[in-house]
Structure 1
Amino acid sequence: MPPPPLSGATLRPMHQHPPGLRPVESQRIEAGPWFAGLPPGLRQAILGQARVQHVKRGACLLRRGEAATDWVGVASGALGLATSWRDGRAFTLELLGPGDWYGDIALIDGSAVDLDIVAQAHSTVLMVSQAGLQQLLQTQPDLRHALLQLDCRRLRHMFRRLEELQTLPLAQRVAIKLQRLLRQFGRPPVTGMAPASARLIELTLTQGDLAGLLCASRQRINGVLRQLQAQGILGGSHGRIEVLQPLRLADVAQGRLVLDGSNR
């Protein structure tokens, strides 16, 4: 089961240069694909309604089935959208990275939270309350259309994932997911021994995490990762995945390079 939702946390109001946000975190919020496309006045209005919250890995911000309280933006770290079974097993269905926003739908239509929102790493998030979002909707006419665009992006992403699940072999889906994780959490590796093109996924992921994200068993995920390592495409240890050859990973993702047994 996920840990209980946060309570009693110290939340600080945001201003144009919000305390509690490092410069790099402010840059990541501003550079988010959706947020960057908003008019400057709307961006500032959203930041003016937000509170900064620092959360530790494993902390639960919102729990499935409970009343929605906040719209959440990720400034650093990662949040997992997760579901749990009665036997205690939990599965992460999607990851939110820096620049991503989530939770507006439940606040607008008054429904309960759809999924647990759990910190996958030490994270800094922006929280906009339901009252704050309603005030923004009343005072910022552009926000309704902007939220519609945000939810359209999310819906298209969901359809792509469903199509991949139904039509693509597991190895290809693993490669596509690793490419997405690189876009969200990739950075150059610290060691100078890696190729110049290598990228490190700066997020600790277990094979169980990948299995949940890809709707597959850990055994099958392990088999694909071993093949990618044997091909020299992947490296890394201690839960950190290093993509040594991004171009060859792209070949697997596009189906140009077929791994042994990946037609299953």
Structure 2
Amino acid sequence: MSTSPLFAGLSPQDRDALERRASLRKFAIGETLFAQGETGDELFVITKGRVKVWRASEDGSALTLTLLGRGQPIGTLGAAEDRRNHATATAVTPVEALCWPVEGLRQLMEHNPVLTANVLRTVTNYAEQLIERLEEVASVPVEPRIARTLLRMKRRIYGEAAADGCELPLSRQDLAELTSATLPTVSRIMSRWRGDKLIAGTRGRVKLLDTKALKRIAGLG
């Protein structure tokens, strides 16, 4: 897990100290790692599987914020200060994750500015994701939203700008949830993009073939 953003820049000794404080937790499909509105008292780093982070609105509808996989930290709002979780995290596959109680993590953060910066950076990223999603749903048409989501997921999964040939573990249902669009609409757009050689892939995966064109559709190029 040394490649996780939580461990970035830490010395081997600091990584060891952090890992010794962690316990390994396992979650079945559909099980909740943490729930919206509850006190954020644990931090997780996913070591196996995929997790959906989503937020319930007042009318009961669900807004999917992101999908996270191996190495990604999750549940950090309470690590920075006493806060309730702004979203729910649910296992979409069998999940294994390292888990730290927030109080123990804060003790390490008091003496380690690098760890503190890593945690705060992750908190900021989650806040940006929420704002980004709300703005897109309110003001961006579906097709640009899908293109933006593909490019954004590439950055979050691989930590770099999208490049032709990269393959994302996303189904059409995943994209429908991530873009607040209907499955038929996503399927129709994806089929057209496949015909135009913008994307390819097999069931449950999307391969980006022309990121320049996707950026233009997204309004980013």
The TM-score, its normalising length taken from structure 1, stands at 0.65
**Residues 1:140 and 1:80: Cα distance change in structure 2 (over 3 Å):** same
How many Å separate the matches in 2 of 1:33 and 1:247? Answer: 28
**Residues 1:73 and 1:218: Cα distance change in structure 2 (over 3 Å):** same
Whichever of the two has the greater Rg, that structure is 1
SS in 2 for 1:31: coil
Cross-structure match for 1:70: 42
Cα deviation for residue 182 of structure 1 reads 3.2
Aligned length: 216
Spell out the pairing of 1:1-264 with structure 2 (5 A cutoff): 26=1, 30-33=2-5, 35-84=7-56, 90-162=62-134, 164-165=136-137, 168-185=140-157, 198-203=165-170, 205-207=171-173, 209-254=174-219
Structure 2: runs of 5+ lacking an equivalent: 159-163
Task: Say whether the 8 Å CA contact 1:172–1:255 is kept in structure 2.
Answer: no
Q: Which amino acid aligns with 1:179?
A: L
Note the aligned Cα RMSD (angstroms).
3.3
How many Å separate the matches in 2 of 1:100 and 1:181? Answer: 13
**Residues 1:54 and 1:245: Cα distance change in structure 2 (over 3 Å):** farther
Task: Say whether the 8 Å CA contact 2:154–2:168 is kept in structure 1.
Answer: yes
Deviations 1:229-260 (CA, angstroms, capped at 9, x unpaired): 2212223454333334445434434556xxxx
SS in 2 for 1:98: coil
Identity of aligned residues (%): 26
Q: Which amino acid aligns with 2:167?
A: L
Structure 1: runs of 5+ lacking an equivalent: 1-25, 187-196, 257-264
Higher relative contact order structure (alpha carbons within 8 Å, sequence separation ≥ 6): 2
Please identify, of 80-89 and 237-246, the stretch whose mean Cα deviation from structure 2 is larger. 80-89
How many Å separate the matches in 2 of 1:172 and 1:216? Answer: 12
Q: Which amino acid aligns with 1:224?
A: I
Q: Which amino acid aligns with 1:82?
A: W
